[in-house]
Amino acid sequence: MGGNQGKVMDTMYKAIRILSRKAGPVTRMSSVYKTKAWGPVPQDDFLNKAIVLHTTLSPGLLLKALLETESYFGRKRTVKYGPRTLDLDILFYGHQIVHSSNLSIPHPELHKRRFALVPLVEIVPKFKHPILKSTMEQLLESCEDQLEVTLWK
C-alpha cells in the first residue's frame, strides 16, 4: 500500500482498519518506506508499506474491497503512474496464481519494483514467488530497479 497525496500516513492506517473489517485481519505490517516517484508526471515522493492480510474472500472479491477502499479515500484513476491518495495492490494471494482480465497474481511487476520488495523482505523474507521460485530476499538482491527506498521516520 502507498500514496503521495494528502495525509498519507493517516490514510494508510485508516485503510488498514477498514480492510481488517472488510477483508480480514492484518497479521503483519512492514515499516513505512519513502521512495521517489517515477513516471510521466512530476509528483511528490511516495510512502509505502506492505501488509499481510488473512482473508476468506476470493481474489476477485478482495480486489473489489481494495478498489472500494481506494475510492473511499478519493483515489482517482486519471493518469497512469500519477499521484494518488491511496494505492492498494494484491502482490500475492498465498501461493495461488491468478490471471484474469482485471487481475494478475502474483503482481506481474513486483520483481522489478524495489519499493515493493524492500517492505516484503522486512516481513516475509523467505516467502517464495510461486512463478519465479525465488524468495523475496533473492528477488530484491537481483532487482535492477535502482530507485532509493529509505526507511521513513
Active site residue ranges: 75, 84, 87, 89
Please name the fold of domain 2-151. Alpha-Beta Plaits (3.30.70)
pLDDT for residue 114: 97
- pLDDT of residue 75 exceeding 90: no
Mean pLDDT on 34-51: 91
Domain ranges, ordered by start, for the chain: 2-151
Give Dmax over CA atoms of the chain in angstroms. Answer: 39
Name the grid cell of 9: 500516513
Q: How far apart are CA 109 and CA 91, in angstroms?
A: 9
Mean pLDDT on 74-85: 82
Mean pLDDT on 122-132: 98
Sign of the Cα pseudo-torsion (136, 21, 89, 30, in order): negative
Confidence of residue 77 (pLDDT cuts 50, 70, 90): confident
- Interval 103-112: pLDDT, tens: 999 999 999 9
Q: How far apart are CA 1 and CA 68, in angstroms?
A: 14
- pLDDT of residue 52 exceeding 80: yes
| Other beta carbons within 10 Å of 46 | 23
**Cβ(136)–Cβ(125) below 8 Å:** yes
Average pLDDT of the residues of the chain = 95
